[in-house]
Amino acid sequence: MNDLQILKDELLKIESLIATAVRLLDEGRVVDLKALEERTKRACDAALALPRADSRPLVPAMEALLAALDALTANLRDRFSEMPTLSSLIGSDTAAGAYGQTMKHFP
C-alpha cells in the first residue's frame, strides 16, 4: 500500500472518529477531543508535505473531513455556545492566514 492510500485511509478513520464524537455529544456524553486533534494535525501535516500534484487525489477526502469538522463544530457550538473561536484566540488575521495557507494545497 502506498503512502497516499495510507493517508486516504487515515482521513477516513478520522472522519469516522468525528462522527462518533458527534453521536456521543448528541447522547450527552463527554468527549475528549485531544487525540482527535492530534491525529487530524498529523494527517493534515502529512498531506501538506506532499507535492501539490500528488495531493490532488486527497481533495475529496479532505473536503469530507472539513464537512465532518464543521458538523462537530456546529454541534459543540450548539451545546457550548460560549466556546471561543480560533479567531478570538489568535486574531482573525492569523486564523485567516492559517486557513489560506492550508487551502493553497487543496484547490
pTM, whole model, 2 decimals?
A: 0.67
Number of domains in the chain: 1
The dihedral built from the CA positions of residue 53, 57, 62 and 67, taken in this order, carries a sign that is: positive
- Domain housing 83: 3-103
- End-to-end C-alpha distance for the chain, whole angstroms: 25
- DSSP helix/strand/coil, 67: helix
pLDDT at 10: 92
Set of cell numbers at residue 22: 458527534
Q: What is the pLDDT of residues 25-43, one digit of tens each?
A: 888 888 888 888 889 899 9
CA distance 33 to 70: 14
Count of positions (residues) in the chain: 107
